[in-house]
Amino acid sequence: MMQESGIEAASNCSTNQNEASSGNHYPDSSTREGRSNGDTSSIEVTAAELVHLQQQQAFQVARQLLLQQQASGLKSPKGNDKQPTLQVPVSVAMMTPQVITPQQMQHILQQQVLTPQQLQALLQQQQAIMLQQQQLQEFYKKQQEQLHLQLLQQQHAGKPTKEQQQPLAAHHLALQQQLIQVQQLQQQHIMTMQRCGLLTVQSGQPALSLQTLAQGMTPTELQQLWKEVTGAHTMEESVTKNGSLDLSTSSICSPAPPPKTSLPVALMNGQSTGHTPKRECLSHEEHGCNHPLYGHGVCKWPGCEAVCEDFGQFLKHLNNEHALDDRSTAQCRVQMQVVQQLELQLAKDKERLQAMMTHLHVKSTEPKYTPQPLNLVSNVTLSKTASEASPQSLPHTPTTPTAPITPVTQGPSVITPTSMHSMGPIRRRYPDKYNVPISSDIAQNQEFYKNADVRPPFTYASLIRQAILESPEKQLTLNEIYNWFTRMFAYFRRNAATWKNAVRHNLSLHKCFVRVENVKGAVWTVDEIEFQKRRPQKISGNPSIIKNIQTSLAYGSPLNAALQASMAENNIPLYTTASMGHPTVASMVGAIHEELNGAVEHSNSNESDSSPGRSPLQTMYPIHVKEEPVDPEEMEGPLSLVTTANHSPELDNDREFEEDPRNEDME
């Protein structure tokens, strides 16, 4: 009873309700000063609001232009830009990084295969990177000044000997390289974002300098530029923080409006209110909300999760624990790699989705299921969530050709409750095959699953296992399993009776779940061997799957290679990465290896074409060792990977024991 109501409450406050009519007010009556007029639907923007919006945007454009001009010293006489009047065309407004216009938003939402959550995640990551990069650059600047100072001193003291100069110079060089690297990465990132349509124009100076850098600017010049803009920069920074990037993210995610931009926020907000993943922001201080490294009262620095009661405390923590040192720098770099990697993956997946869609559309004979969205989504999901987003844009062949493809009003995201549930129970299969790395998928897309009402592409058994294995003791009570489900997946915050029954059913049915009597009741554990037995159909040489894996490898290898390279280059010991315990990197590596282990092994014989991905991985792997003490049960054979040659006897036994029969079966 309590349980139920708790769940309902959770679902009320955190899952989407956008099917609710526009007259329906928020269930929670938390403060919403920023919203000018309740929950006017995002689409119905009054003319006055639009005008106001444009004014604001124009103002910001003008302001930024001014800043830029000040910074670069180029005073182009564009008088009219400064006048924040209605005349500022929307296109100009759209050019500004400050605000994403509703139109633009719609466009993005229609075109993108991203859910707002994903968008938000991406943007947040990017923002974090920007911040980190700024730090880096400041660091770099300091270093250079220091160097300069020292050189001066040396000159005063007499001629610097080469011996004296060299270490410094080397250091300097290293720093430069580092910066360049960071910036190149950043730029790639930006470009990807732009390609994806996530950003139209980059915000402010950093991007500017980056692009020039890419066009062949030397670090020195760059630094000069930085110095030049630094004056404006401090100001700019505040703008950036409150306005540009952050706005774009928070407009998607959070209704907390920075004063100047309240209107746009309110506008944007309507579109995704139901989904707002960052609800908790409301209960936090306004500023805390804005910091991408702070949320849930917890420091979001990769691998940190220190609890900070308020924003001030968080700032303190940030300065103390994540000061500019080797570790932070490395983490920053890694994070960058991660983002980049994700982008890459996203791009590929989008491409794939596109192809799939075109393919399906051409056929356009999809007689059976009208519930298409779910269907496709679940299948598409098979590689990272990136693609699951826009059901609107899916083929949508069937019965109702005239039916408007799910309107934007619906809240752009995923599967709307209406689309999913109005048609009664749909039986769908959500196989977690070839998608072996459940742990990594969940880890990677945690935020997404938490907020998007999308069914995770895993079977109940897999999910239950995951829940249990994630627990410290590797055992959970039924209720705890329930809680894990609701905590981790928005999807399971509804229809409790159904899925709970399924959970119980699965627990009982599968031998792999073992009930253990405990002092205070019973807990469930996982018999991993049984589980593996039960999960045979991994691969058996199915070419498409193998291909899939190879793609994954292709995804994985550059990351690792790059990581490794960058670390080697900067003399950062590998364990730095491990110790920071970044879930994503770890999980990616893990994921790849899960696949490797589970699948490629078998098809190895004829796999000559795809080896490039492997070696870096394998060399890379040792990083993972210290990462998770809990591992042995967790993954398919992580230990075997530690020693590249993969033979920890027991595991090997297990493996043969479990898999061989299957292989024969298959053949």
Which residues are at the interface with DNA (CB under 7 A)? 1-4, 368-369, 375, 379, 425, 427-431, 433, 458-461, 477-479, 482, 495, 497-499, 501-502, 504-509, 515, 521-522, 524, 534-537, 666
Instruction: Please give the C-alpha separations between residue 63 and each of 77, 91, 124, 400, 528, in angstroms, as whole numbers.
Output: 14, 17, 24, 49, 61
d(CA 72, CA 65): 10
d(CA 474, CA 496): 24
Residue 462 near residue 432, CB atoms below 8 Å: yes
d(CA 480, CA 463): 13
* Least distance between DNA and beta carbon 599 (Å): 13
Buried b (16+ CB within 10 A) or exposed e, 397-406: bbeeeeeeeb
203 or 378: whose CB is closer to DNA?
378
Helix (H) or strand (E) holding 578: helix 575-580
* Least distance between DNA and beta carbon 420 (Å): 10
Amino acid at 554: A
Among 444, 636, 625, CA closest to 528:
636
Among 490, 75, 32, 580, CA closest to 301:
580
CA atoms within 13 A of residue 82's CA, in its CB half-sphere: 9
Specify the 3-state DSSP secondary structure of 369.
coil
Strand partners, 295: 298
Specify the 3-state DSSP secondary structure of 84.
coil
Specify the 3-state DSSP secondary structure of 618.
helix
Among 397, 151, 411, CA closest to 277:
411
d(CA 552, CA 345): 9
Among 630, 629, 536, 631, CA closest to 590:
631
Specify the 3-state DSSP secondary structure of 586.
helix
* Least distance between DNA and beta carbon 314 (Å): 36
Strand partners, 513: 526
Strand partners, 514: 525
Residue 512 near residue 531, CB atoms below 8 Å: yes
| Torsion, CA 161, CA 164, CA 166, CA 168, rounded to 10 | -140
* Cα–chain center distance at 247: 18
Strand partners, 298: 295, 307
Buried b (16+ CB within 10 A) or exposed e, 302-334: bbbebebeebebbbebbeeebebeebbbbbbbb
The per-residue DSSP string of 479-544 comes to HHHHHHHHHH-GGGGS-HHHHHHHHHHHHHH-TTEEEEEETTEEEEEE-HHHHHHT---S-TT-HH
Strand partners, 525: 514
What is the separation, in whole angstroms, between the first and last Cα of the chain? 50
